[in-house]
Structure 1
Amino acid sequence: MPLPLTSLAADGPRLSPIVAGAWRMADWGWNAQQRLRWIEQCAELGVTSFDHADIYGNYGVEALFGEALALAPTSLRERLQIVSKCGIKLVAPARPEHRLKHYDSTAAHIVASAEASLRALRVERLELLLIHRPDALMDADEVALAFEALRAAGKVAHFGVSNFTPAQFELLASRTPLVTNQIELHPLQRAPLADGTLDQLQRLRIRPMIWSPLAGGALLTGQGEAERRVQAALARIAQRHGCASATIAFAWLLRLPSRPVPVSGSHRIEALREALDALRITLDAQDWTEVWQAATGREVP
């Protein structure tokens, strides 16, 4: 079912309004044909954008995805938008030279990581490349040069960041165009609602991407006091709208005027359908606040 693509920024990439996350693919235990079928099913639902990072699966997920994608016809591959991230260096068997986890935002590492992702994914271009985490040693001018080199070579179309504060975003954006900030946001992680992150992006007319929109599943199955309060609120609102609780969790994000683009991390196609159902629901201010109140345990001031 075709879905209209949505622009992250005025001159940014066009992605599906819900993005499929591949973070856990190495844990799914699937063969290449099963992985391809998942990609096909996502595309059949209109989810044609896929979120990756070089480090996912201890540097293995991009290759798993690429192996599956190589089995697909060209017509499918050409419909997909691939997002990846770089800048974190993990201690892993695949990287024996890393003594400890650290960050690297040098031009050499950004370019090498992007090129490695292209090889692993078996694609010729990334639609979007993000700096995965803020790096205290980041030289904004050097990052801008790396971005421009990758853009000029036709290897990456657009660039953004992930987990950046407003000040960190502003610094890098002063040197090179950025089209998104991929952040964690859900009723149990509300900091971006108050720390200026979403205000900045709305001012710039740049849409955030949202990772972990269900709090790693805690919004549906968590046993903490706040989790149970949120689950009850989601269930009440879901009953009123005739949908799943997960759908309301996504609708809670989509109600924000910064117009977030959530990343669904589940391999279950039914979970993806529940996320997509949120595109047809607009929560009113009372529904939205009911979830916020459940998460905080208090009324709005």
Structure 2
Amino acid sequence: MDRLTLGSVEISRLVYGMWRLGDDPDTSPAHVQAKVEACLAQGITTMDQADIYGGYVAEAIFGAALRAAPTLRDQIEIVTKCDIVAPAGRHSAARVKHYDTSAAHITASVEASLRDMATDRIDLLLIHRPDPLMDHHETGRALDGLVTSGKVRAVGVSNFRPWDFSLLQSAMTSPLVTNQIELSLNCRAPFTNGDLAFLQERAIPPMAWSPLAGGHLRAEAGDGLSARLDAIARDAGTDWTAVAVAWLLHHPARVIPVLGTNTLSRIASIADALRVPMDRQTWFELYTLAQGHEVP
């Protein structure tokens, strides 16, 4: 599998997302280990987490698996995120859901993530959401300090618009190496609103969350798009989900899809997307069907 370099971290082109790790009826270390090993068998080495996932429990579930099988840690890269404070788990006393990009909160979140995931380093830390109260100097210093300390190898953001990205980067010495944004056949705005162009101009690979629209892409797609996805999938000997991911992979911005599922058979087929042929006209055919009209 192709790999991409984000600052000082090299990651797999496809990433396994652990957003719903806590939703699986089986959260045992052995079952989580089986998921990671199914990824590794395909060359998928990068695991995507966030402190808030599962109501602040997903990182600990993952950590239990790493404690049970410590050799896994050196075979993977861990991405995690912070700054969302919701009234749940360790933040149950919060009066209102909010964002916190203060140095104290970022540092505490990283320490909790390191502890919960039984690791001494986070390979890539992302600020999860733009904070309208962000002091970019304070946040930037905190992120730079974590990189200098070695607790975090690289830093980036998630769901930032170009101006949010530039503001934070202006107060930092460490580069912001990615922006994880929603991107799929259902969420096409970044292709034309400047979000992708901003990153592409700077040679910053974007990560794409919900590349299958949270599992609802097919349900929300029109009959024409569904039929074409199926036809391409049949020709490639796979299913429509691989085609939807291949559509993202074809973009020259070097999109990194983050795919989450708790089903082992689905995990084992994530890399099918890499063998789906995609050319310019096929890409625009799917784009047109998703829009419901041809391009101007």
Q: What TM-score does the superposition give when structure 1 sets the normalisation length?
A: 0.93
Structure 1 residue 238, shift from structure 2 partner: 1.9
8 Å Cα contact 2:17/2:261 also seen in 1 = yes
Q: Could you list the runs of 5+ residues in structure 2 that have no partner in the other structure?
A: none
Task: Map 1:103-252 onto structure 2 (within 5 A).
Answer: 103-176=99-172, 177-220=175-218, 222=219, 224=220, 226-252=221-247
Distance change >3 Å, CA 80–CA 246, structure 1 → 2: same
Which of the numbers 19, 24, 27 marks the counterpart of 1:28? 24
Q: CA RMSD in A?
A: 1.5
8 Å Cα contact 1:219/1:230 also seen in 2 = no
Structure 1 residue 20, shift from structure 2 partner: 0.6
* Cα shift readout 1:232-261 (whole Å, capped 9, x = no counterpart): 221122233332111110010001110111
8 Å Cα contact 2:11/2:77 also seen in 1 = yes
- Identity within the alignment, %: 46
Aligned counterparts of 1:287 and 1:274: Cα–Cα separation in 2: 22
* Residue equivalent to 1:256: 251
1:240 is matched by which residue type in structure 2?
D
8 Å Cα contact 1:163/1:182 also seen in 2 = yes
2:198 is matched by which residue type in structure 1?
Q
* Residue equivalent to 1:40: 37
Q: Could you list the runs of 5+ residues in structure 1 that have no partner in the other structure?
A: none
* Residue equivalent to 1:277: 272
Distance change >3 Å, CA 140–CA 181, structure 1 → 2: same
Aligned counterparts of 2:10 and 2:224: Cα–Cα separation in 1: 36
8 Å Cα contact 1:244/1:274 also seen in 2 = no
8 Å Cα contact 1:50/1:81 also seen in 2 = yes
Aligned counterparts of 1:51 and 1:27: Cα–Cα separation in 2: 16
Structure 1 residue 137, shift from structure 2 partner: 0.5
2:204 is matched by which residue type in structure 1?
I
Residue range with higher mean Cα deviation, 156-165 or 211-220: 211-220
Aligned counterparts of 1:33 and 1:236: Cα–Cα separation in 2: 37
Aligned counterparts of 1:157 and 1:51: Cα–Cα separation in 2: 15
Count of residues paired in the alignment: 293
Q: What TM-score does the superposition give when structure 2 sets the normalisation length?
A: 0.95
1:60 aligns with 2:95: no
Aligned counterparts of 1:139 and 1:73: Cα–Cα separation in 2: 38
Aligned counterparts of 1:240 and 1:47: Cα–Cα separation in 2: 24
Which of the numbers 3, 8, 15 marks the counterpart of 1:5? 3
8 Å Cα contact 1:218/1:227 also seen in 2 = no
Which of the numbers 70, 81, 85 marks the counterpart of 2:81? 85
8 Å Cα contact 2:35/2:267 also seen in 1 = no
2:137 is matched by which residue type in structure 1?
D
